[in-house]
Amino acid sequence: MGTPYPRLIADLTELWATSGDDAERHRLLGELITYVDANREGIENYVRYGAQGSGAIEKTMDVAVGRRLKAKGTSWFRPGAHRLLSLRILKQDRTWDRYWQARRSRTSLLAALETAHPCGTLDATGSHVIVSAGQ
């Protein structure tokens, strides 16, 4: 079974090219083509492996994050919740020590977060961040 990616891009590109004078449609189709192209791997993997149940992931998120964010008497603004989530991920994927080493060796918290990967995963070389959704 092939992936839908080449056909999808071809169809979207044709729609984009024939959108005529409708600037809004032209812009939206351009954004969609960019999104699909940037997420090609996920689209292909979905076709290859099929939709997998999310029960295990949902339970992990509930234990790792949900219970902390939803504790009685707490309320969160998005930036604070994102920072807490970043720290919880560091703890869960055992990169906590690397994060704090990077933070101590740099003057910028942002540089340390980029090194230790907030809400993302490091590639095999450990030098590039693959960012998860929600940023």
> How do the domains of the chain map onto residue ranges?
5-49, 55-131
Task: Read off the pLDDT of each residue in 68-96 and give the average, rounded to a whole number.
Answer: 83
Look at residue 107 in the predicted model and tell me its pLDDT.
54
Q: What is the pLDDT of residues 28-74, one digit of tens each?
A: 998 998 988 888 877 776 666 666 667 777 787 787 777 778 888 88
| Integer CA distances (angstroms), 83 to 110, 112, 118, 127, 128, in order | 11, 13, 8, 21, 20
Identity of the amino acid at 35: Y
Q: Does residue 12 surpass a pLDDT of 80?
A: yes
**Nearby residues of 111 by Cβ (< 8 Å), 6 or more positions away:** 102
Place of tokens 């998120």: 61
Average per-residue pLDDT in the chain?
74
Task: Read off the pLDDT of each residue in 101-111 and give the average, rounded to a whole number.
Answer: 66
Q: Using 50, 70 and 90 to split pLDDT, how confident is the model at 16?
A: confident
Coil vs helix vs strand at 96: helix
Look at residue 47 in the predicted model and tell me its pLDDT.
60
Rounded-to-integer distance, Cα 70 and Cα 53, Å = 24
Q: Using 50, 70 and 90 to split pLDDT, how confident is the model at 5?
A: confident
Structure token pair of residue 22: 């409708």
Look at residue 114 in the predicted model and tell me its pLDDT.
56
Look at residue 133 in the predicted model and tell me its pLDDT.
47
